Amino acid sequence: MTQGFLSKNPSVLWFLLVLGLFTLGVTVLSETAGVGLISTSFVKTLGKTLCLCLIAIAMDVVWGYCGILSLGHFAFFGIGGYAIGMWLMYARTEIIVIKSLNAAAIPPTPEEITDAVGQQIFGVVGSTDFPWLWAFSDSLFLQLLMVVLVPGLLALVFGWLAFRSRVTGVYLSILTQAMTLALALYLFQNDSGLRGNNGLSGLQNIPGFERTPQAVISLGFFWASALALALGYVLFAWVVSGKMGSVIRGIRDNESRVRFLGYHVETYKLFVFTLTAVISGIAGALYYPQAGIINPAEVAPIASIYLAVWVAIGGRGRLYGAVLGAAVVSLMSSWFTGGGAPNIPLGFYTIQWTDWWLVLLGFSFVAVTLFFPKGIGGLFDIIVRKGDQK
């Protein structure tokens, strides 16, 4: 079945080929391979970018294909990050604690270990007890399950509530934004059980790989991210092709017509919303070990809006557009704000990109919305059409 699907969607094969070549190229040029043209920190940046591309295609499916402008998908991304971060932090702290407790004459009891780990993790928020949220934090398997389940369930409940009362359009956007804000505000509290605005840190240290150099770990995560993106791309391309794609694009263009054709529109929206939320969670779970730290600011509503911006700039309604948008804008963002871009002296004033990048981004985004509603992806259409004419 999948073969037939791939042969009918050559763009998926092209995408996989480009992604494969890119992954290979980065590997060959990385420090681990000995060439060192690409530094470890840049490998991390690229790996993170791939995760952002993954959530961008999820956003594209839910917005570009199904017409739901969700301003909450970064919340799912953050939840995925928190879920994996809890295990990373717990397991690593446990290793350190056991090491130091083993120095004593008497072997530690499990209670002592738990207390000491709790002290280490929650000392910053003035607590030592483990909140109920951390019940499964000692199990990698269960936390991985959480990466999928928590965003999925949240999306399911929220989506069910919202779609069943026919909240659509900008109302839905505002509502998803409110959900994100509520989550961020909750996480900002010190007694949220997730270390308040300290967030979770030290996530780049993977328990069990203490002796492995970061260069190798980061390459590993880069591969994992590339693999996740490839799988996600194939999955979404499959979902949006064929009859399913037909129905969800129908929902985007004329919801009530689809309803009168006998499709239960709410179920479809819920399906798309939940599926993309789960994929966003997975993307987050891969992103934050590379970022090393997650805090509530990451979940703030603005992040989800930026996500929409990437997809819009890349080009909605085509998966590679979303990938392109996320990659280009996020890489440019880190180039400009990281001081990589040269400042422009005007004589009376020097434009420092660290200050002016957001102004440029804001206005170019307005320009894209006004003049290139199809985004960068739309350029491909022009090129392809010109090719046809010749």
Q: Does 162 bind other proteins (CB under 8 A)?
A: yes
Determine the Cα angle at 148 with ends 143 and 152, to 5°. 135
Shortest Å distance, C-beta 67 to other proteins = 8
Shortest Å distance, C-beta 234 to other proteins = 14
Q: Does 88 bind other proteins (CB under 8 A)?
A: no
Q: Are 115 and 40 in contact (CB under 8 A)?
A: no
- Using alpha carbons, select from 208, 187, 198, 171 the residue that is nearest to residue 79: 187
Contact partners, residue 125, CB within 8 Å, separation at least 6: 190, 191, 195, 196, 198
Q: Are 299 and 309 in contact (CB under 8 A)?
A: no
Range 120-159, binding other proteins (CB under 8 A): 158
- Exposed / middle / buried, residue 14 (Cβ in 10 Å: 0-12, 13-18, 19+): exposed
Largest pairwise CA distance in the chain: 83
- Using alpha carbons, select from 130, 45, 70, 268 the residue that is nearest to residue 258: 268
Q: Does 335 bind other proteins (CB under 8 A)?
A: no
Residue with smaller CB distance to other proteins, 125 or 305:
305
Residue with smaller CB distance to other proteins, 14 or 363:
363
Shortest Å distance, C-beta 208 to other proteins = 22
Q: Are 258 and 250 in contact (CB under 8 A)?
A: yes
- Print the binding letters for residues 278-317 with other proteins: x by CB under 8 A, - otherwise: -----------------------xx--x--xx--x-----
Give the sign of the dihedral formed by CA 53, CA 58, CA 61, CA 63: negative
Q: Does 8 bind other proteins (CB under 8 A)?
A: no
Residue with smaller CB distance to other proteins, 291 or 308:
308
Q: Does 346 bind other proteins (CB under 8 A)?
A: no
Range 219-248, binding other proteins (CB under 8 A): 239, 242-244, 246-247
- Print the binding letters for residues 60-79 with other proteins: x by CB under 8 A, - otherwise: ---------x----------
Residue with smaller CB distance to other proteins, 203 or 309:
309
Q: Does 372 bind other proteins (CB under 8 A)?
A: no
Q: Are 287 and 73 in contact (CB under 8 A)?
A: no
Residue with smaller CB distance to other proteins, 77 or 158:
158
Among 7, 39, 109, 343, binds other proteins (CB under 8 A): 109
**Tokens matching residue 254:** 């004329």
Q: Does 373 bind other proteins (CB under 8 A)?
A: yes
Among 21, 135, 145, 366, binds other proteins (CB under 8 A): 366
Angle between helices 40-59 and 301-314 (to 10 degrees): 80
Q: Does 1 bind other proteins (CB under 8 A)?
A: yes
Shortest Å distance, C-beta 137 to other proteins = 21
Total residues contacting other proteins (rule CB under 8 A)?
A: 77
Q: Does 178 bind other proteins (CB under 8 A)?
A: yes
Q: Does 186 bind other proteins (CB under 8 A)?
A: yes
Piece of 50-58, 110-118, 137-145, 204-212 that binds other proteins (CB under 8 A) = 110-118
Shortest Å distance, C-beta 37 to other proteins = 34
Among 13, 209, 257, 384, binds other proteins (CB under 8 A): 257
Q: Does 188 bind other proteins (CB under 8 A)?
A: yes
Residue with smaller CB distance to other proteins, 191 or 210:
191
